[in-house]
Amino acid sequence: MRMPEPNNGVLSRRTEIVSDLRRILPAECVIAEEEELRAYECDGLTAYRQLPLIVVLPETTEQVSDVLQYCYGEGIKIVPRGAGTSLSGGALPLADGITLGLGKFNRILEVDYKNRCVRAQTGVTNLAITNAVNGEGFYYAPDPSSQIACSIGGNVAENSGGVHCLKYGLTTNNLLGIEMVLMDGEIVRLGGKYLDAGGYDLMGIVTGSEGLLGVITEVTVRILRSPSTARAILIGFPSSQSAGTCVADIIGAGIIPAGMEMMDQPAIHAAEAFVKVGYPLEADALLIVELDGPSVEVDELILRVEAIARKNGAQSIRISESENERNDFWAGRKAAFPAVGRISPDYYCMDGTIPRNRLSEVLDRMSDFSEDFGLRVANVFHAGDGNLHPLILYDANSPGELEKAEQFGAEILKLCVEVGGVLTGEHGVGVEKRDLMGEMFTEVDLNQQQRVKCAFDPTQQLNPGKVFPTLHRCAELGRVHIHSQQTRFPDLPRF
Amino acid sequence: MTEQLNPITARDTCEIIADAITSEKTLEIMGAGSRRSIGRPMETDHILSTSALNGISLYEPDELVLRAGPGTTMTHLQSELAQNGQMLAFEPPDYGPLLGAPLNLGTLGGVVAGNLAGPRRIKVGAARDHFLGVEAVSGRGEIFRSGGRVVKNVTGYDLCKLMAGSWGTLGVMTDITVKVMPAPEKTRTLLVNCPNLSVALSVMTAALSSPHDVSAAAWLPQSIVSKSAVSYVASSGAALAALRLEGISRSVEERCRSLREDLASFGDLEELHSHNSLNFWREVRDVRAFIDFGDRDALWKISVAPAEAQALLNKLHAVADMDAFLDWGGGLIWAQVSGMDDGGSSIIRRTMGAEGGHATLIRGSIKQRALEPVFHPELPAVARLTERIKDAFDPKRILNPGRMFEGV
């Protein structure tokens, strides 16, 4: 992976920078020893590693501001890092950059039931927010599968989703306010406990910006009352096509399930071998549909879903009759990644989104790729929202297999875009999909996005090398070019 | 002389803007013009209307996605959706009569550009939350796209968020992709007799904190109740909190029963069934209570933390001749202020502060809109970002210049 050329001036001043930082921050907040830096050399995308120049772990927003102001003045790059669970390399360090870890921002600041929101520091885990309010019957809706570890600030940076997106939305739909620090040290508060922005939706653009616009230090999120009932139905199908039609029919019937997950046969087998909860091994595709809400509603919708499944040739149907049984249905799906990890030395997790109705075509083409590359693939699919997670199985110790897996992955993502989908549904672009951005966007599109980056970070010191395949200087992007008009429209009134 | 330009393709739009750049002309960006009076008064050289960029180019009910030109009227779009039992879940309002224009004039582009939302905002979000993809022409004369047609998408910056609520100041949208949702089978409204605002806020908070999936919560004082065209409401003669339940029939009935039990101690309860419910919430959505107005009246849309609504209203009532009602469980105040030269701007802004929410002057005299900030004043750090975002999209200040903020 090609990263921006390290600045030798910064590298050579390392000792001086360390002592400056130790003046700005308490000494224990600055990490400079190689063995300690090692813990920060990668995030959840472990294929890429780089030792950071220095790691700082500030404790307050003012300290973050002081560090950024210092780095801004000194021309030093910053890589923000939450819990380090990014699957796209969003927190991959830079050799000449300071990794700014937010792990010490771990306090919930306020639980406000009257306004149904929680204000938390950026490093609080996603699950900790739900845990803080579930005693009162509330929860925080977005639930990425890393929720036990991932930080809420990281969720904002990545606009994280989870299995309940279709009904309850992504991070951006559940976020009310943020406090962030700009690269020049300025502290900005956007939103609050109220809805929508009065001016431009700056919080909306920061959400999902992958740490390139500012360092988020505090977050205010909406909490929802937990549904009184949730039940799941486990449906085996003889083909992914019939499972796909079933999904379309459920939605076509006006039902929005809380979650709707699909697994293909390799994933079913791996999961069943791992958790042994009775998944139908003969099925070619397995659908888990969860409905939540008042019990009378859930009971009725379960019957409607069951009828739709039968009409679509379901081979097996099980309806959860208890919380234990519902959790069992999910256990295999939730353990799908580690389960696949047991049947292969390594796996590479992809994250494209496709229009749901192109699923069986995409799966067919994917099995062709699988033969071409000689690598197996298992699929788990957020069927409700079209987000596909193909897991490519490979062996990193076998020469050339990682590269092959990466090429296979790139082909899958190009296919997603080709059928009307996108490169990434929830894992982010980071470094992983950076060089594929041209598959989805034109130069004009990417330049317009980079101009937004320039509005927040004109010197491009925040997390450079991520998201954008080519870095343009902000001054260059600022110029207005009028393209010579070849075609005139005579029927249009002109000035 | 001001000309109106009606591009029919993105390419035309691009040409017009490129011409405007070279000839240093400004453009007012307009759909059908139904919300044209919102914002600071502008004097532009020409008008660019998106009304010819219309029509639905993609609608897949099973995929819950629709793509249309910005000039597509909401009436047309909603009737297409209704044929498939679907809707735009954020309940786009029609402010036509409120702003002195006819009903059913508004376009999809206008709804999105204003990031509008109705009573269901508290449950499903605003236009921004349903806006999946955009093609637009920037003030640089370039066609750019962002987003896509799928709900789960984090590929690149979400420029749709900036386009929504930018009131045509960043770009001219030429194609809009939105998420659509199934319409509820049944709607019922529980009315709770609440003369006192603090009781009403407790009722709304209790309802929205319940597991009964309340999709709207409003409070109307008696002065507003009496204006309702739903005779059941008008004749109640008392201030009312209204709570909406939607979904499949059995569920709505069951939840309504449970909610009645939960709220019985607060006051007398009545129910509106589907037809009356739909009419009632349309009145709330479109702010029909304030369609009659005089020269000295100003209408404010104020977004606050629900628990702050009462304190703010009390302060305003103490100094201004004002009538107001609440939506969004108390988080949205619609306030008509009468007889103040500044329309109440300074008292509202002073009371709210810079971070307590935002107040927008939705309807006011030209003088008020010229002299008072129509959109909530931003703190310097945010205002600088706003200006730089404008630079990023429209550095020559061609598109709706000054409509939101001076110089932007």
Q: Measured between alpha carbons, how far is residue B207 from residues A174, A431, B77, B189, B226 in Å?
A: 19, 45, 32, 12, 24
Supply φ then ψ for residue A354, to 5 degrees.
-130, 155
- CA nearest A294: which of B190, B251, B186? B251
Indicate the DSSP class of residue A212: S
Residue B148: which of B164, B131, B163 has the closest Cα? B131
Q: Which of A213, A103, A82 is nearest to A155 (CA)?
A: A82
The answer, yes or no, to whether residue A31 has pLDDT greater than 70, is yes
Q: What is the CATH number of the domain that holds B115?
A: 3.30.465.10
The answer to whether the Cβ–Cβ distance between A446 and B389 falls below 8 Å is no
| Eight-state DSSP code of residue B229 | S
- Return the structure tokens found at B310: 């009462």
Q: How far is CA B21 from CA A483, B17, B26, B261, in A?
A: 11, 6, 8, 63
Write down the pLDDT at residue A163.
85
CATH number assigned to the domain comprising residue B261:
3.30.70.2190
> How many angstroms separate the Cα of A380 from the Cα of each of B7, B50, B172, B191?
45, 42, 39, 46
Percent of chain B at pLDDT > 90 equals 96
Quick count: other Cβ atoms within 10 Å of Cβ A373? Answer: 18
Which of A204, A294, A353 lies at the smallest CB-CB distance from B153? A353
With beta carbons under 8 A apart, name residues in chain A contacting B20.
495
The answer, for B47 touching chain A at a CB cutoff of 8 Å, is no
Residues B109 and B257 in one domain: no
Do B165 and A196 make contact, defined as CB atoms within 8 angstroms? yes
Average of pLDDT values for A32-43?
97
Cα distance from B244 to chain A (closest Cα, Å)? Answer: 15
Which amino acid is residue A33, in one-letter code?
E
Residue of A nearest to B166 (CA): A200
Give the ranges where B227-379 is alpha helix by DSSP (H).
231-234, 249-263, 274-285, 309-319, 345-352, 366-371
Q: Decide if B146 and A481 are in contact by the 8 Å CB cutoff.
A: no
Which string of b and e fits B276-290 if b means at least 16 CB within 10 Å? Answer: bbebbbbbbbbbbbb
Same-domain status, B5 and B36: yes
Predicted confidence band of residue A494 (pLDDT cuts 50, 70, 90): very low
Residue A406: exposed, middle, or buried by beta-carbon count in 10 A (0-12, 13-18, 19+)?
A: middle
What is residue A296's predicted lDDT score, i.e. its pLDDT? 92
Q: Is the pLDDT of residue B149 over 60?
A: yes
Average pLDDT, integer, range A158-168: 91
- Confidence band (pLDDT; 50, 70, 90) for B267? confident
Contact at 8 Å (CB) between B385 and A188?
yes
Mean confidence (pLDDT) of chain A: 94
Per residue in A249-300, pLDDT (tens digit) is 999 999 999 999 999 999 999 999 999 999 999 999 999 999 999 999 999 9
E strands in A207-366? 215-222, 224-225, 229-237, 259-264, 285-293, 316-319, 346-349, 352-353
Alpha-carbon distance B146 to A11, whole Å?
37
B174 and B63 share one domain? yes
- Here the tokens at position A311 are 């009409």
Instruction: Closest CB to B150: pick one of A200, A353, A456.
Output: A353
Question: Which tens digits make up the pLDDT trace of B182-216?
Answer: 999 999 999 999 989 999 999 999 999 999 999 99
* Cα dihedral sign, A246-A252-A257-A259: positive
Residue A329's Cβ-side half-sphere holds a number of Cα atoms within 13 Å equal to: 25
Q: Does B16 touch chain A (CB under 8 A)?
A: yes
CB A230 within 8 A of CB A290: yes
Phi, psi of B178 (to 5 degrees): -125, 155
Domain check: are B249 and B297 in the same one?
no
Contact residues, B window 89-128, toward A, CB-based 8 Å cutoff: 115, 117, 121-122, 125-126, 128
The rounded distance, in Å, linking the Cα atoms of B70 and B67 is 9
**H or E element that contains A391:** strand A387-394
In this structure, what token pair is assigned to residue B325? 């009602």
Among all chains, which residue has been given the structure tokens 């090398």?
A465
Query: Are B266 and B203 contacting, i.e. CB atoms less than 8 angstroms apart?
Result: yes
Q: Half-sphere exposure of residue B93, counting CA atoms within 13 Å on the CB side?
A: 23
pLDDT greater than 80 at residue A177: yes
Q: To which H or E segment does residue A61 belong? A: helix A61-74
Q: Rounded to whole angstroms, what are the CA distances from B118 to B92, B111, B127?
A: 6, 11, 10
Q: How many domains does chain B contain in total?
A: 3
In the prediction, which pLDDT does A486 show? 47
Least CB-CB distance to B129: which of A159, A173, A494? A173
Mutation site, A181, A200, A454, A482, interface B, largest B CB count within 10 A = A200
In this prediction, residues B227-245 reach a mean pLDDT of 95
Residue A491 has pLDDT above 60, yes or no: no
> B316 pLDDT exceeds 80?
yes
CB atoms < 10 A from the CB of A295, how many?
16
Residues in A closer than 8 angstroms to B159, CB to CB, are 205, 448-449, 452
Residues B176, B205 share a domain: no
How far CA B105 is from CA of B9, B292, B347, B366, in Å, comes to 21, 19, 34, 22
Q: Does B317 contact A at CB distance below 8 Å?
A: no
> CB distance B164–A201 less than 8 Å?
yes
Chain B nearest-CA distance from A478, in A, is 7
Classify residue B184 by its DSSP letter: P
User: Residue B207 has which token pair?
Assistant: 């309802």
- Residue B266 tokens, joined: 């607060």
Supply the DSSP string of A419-463, one letter for each residue: TT-BS-SSS--TTTTGGGHHHH--HHHHHHHHHHHHHH-TT--BS
* B250 inside 8 A of chain A by CB: yes
Residues B133-161 have a mean pLDDT of 97
**Residues B312 and B328 occupy one common structural domain:** yes
User: Left if phi > 0, otherwise alpha if psi is -120 to 50, otherwise beta: which for A180?
Assistant: beta
Rounded to whole angstroms, how far apart are CA atoms B344 and B340?
6
B123 and B218 together in one domain = no
Mean pLDDT for A186-210 is: 96
The pLDDT score that the predictor gives to residue A483 is 62
Q: Note the pLDDT tens digit of each residue in A309-344.
A: 999 999 999 999 999 999 999 999 988 989 998 999
Nearest-10 Cα torsion for A55, A58, A64, A69? -50
Residue A50, pLDDT score: 97
% of chain B with per-residue pLDDT over 70? 100
Show residues of chain A in contact with B345, CB under 8 Å.
none
A&B contacts, CB < 8 Å: 299
Mean per-residue pLDDT for A115-131? 98
Whether residue A251 and residue B64 make contact (CB cut-off 8 A), yes or no, is yes
Residues B48 and B144 in one domain: yes
- Residues B242-260 have a mean pLDDT of 96
Residues listed for chain A = 495
Q: Which residue of chain B has the CA closest to A220?
A: B305
Q: Measured between alpha carbons, how far is B87 from B184 in angstroms, rounded to an integer?
A: 9
B213 lies within 8 A of chain A by CB: yes
Indicate if B85 and B167 belong to the same structural domain: yes
Res A106 pLDDT > 90: yes
Interatomic CA distance for residues A391 and A238, integer angstroms: 21
Average pLDDT over residues A349-376: 94
- Provide φ and ψ at A270, rounded to 5°: -65, -45
Question: CA-to-CA distance for A164 and A161, rounded, in angstroms?
Answer: 8
How many helices (H) and strands (E) would you count in chain A? 18, 19
Q: Is residue A461 scored above 60 in pLDDT? A: yes
The verdict on B12 and B119 lying in the same domain is: yes
Does B227 contact chain A (CB < 8 Å)? Answer: no
Contact by Cβ (8 Å): B197, B219: yes
The runs of H, that is alpha helices, within B264-363 are 274-285, 309-319, 345-352
The set of residues, in sequence order, having a beta carbon less than 8 Å from that of A60 and lying 6+ positions away, is: none
pLDDT for position B2: 84
For residue B261, count CB atoms less than 10 angstroms from its CB and return exposed for 0-12, middle for 13-18, buried for 19 or more. exposed
Q: Do residues B85 and B199 both lie within one domain?
A: no
Domain that holds residue B132: 1-183+378-408
The whole-angstrom distance between B1's CA and the closest CA on chain A is: 10
Spatial contact of A480 and B395, defined as CB atoms under 8 Å apart:
yes
Q: Rounded to an integer, what distance in angstroms lies between the CA atom of residue B137 and that of residue B150?
A: 22
Q: Taking CB atoms and an 8 Å cutoff, what residues of chain A touch B396?
A: 480
According to the model, what pLDDT value does residue A490 have?
Answer: 42
Rounded average pLDDT over B300-323: 95
d(CA A162, CA A170): 8
Is B393 in Cβ contact with A451 (below 8 Å)? yes
Q: Cα(B388)–Cα(A184) distance, rounded to whole angstroms?
A: 15
State how beta strands B186-193 and B240-247 pair. Answer: antiparallel
Interface membership of B58 toward A (CB under 8 Å): no
Same domain membership, residue B159 and residue B10: yes
Alpha-carbon gap, residue B21 to B14, rounded angstroms: 11
Two structure tokens written together for B159: 């420029």
Q: How much is the pLDDT for A485?
A: 52
Helix (H) or strand (E) holding B389: helix B380-393
Taking all residues of chain B, what is their mean pLDDT, rounded to a whole number? 96
- pLDDT of amino acid A374: 96
- For residue B270 the two structure tokens come to 């009545």
Mutate: best of A88, A118, A201, A255, partner B, most B CBs <10 A: A201
CATH number where B293 lies: 3.30.70.260
Within B110-198, strands assigned E span: 131-138, 143-147, 171-179, 181-182, 186-193
Eight-class DSSP state of B378: P
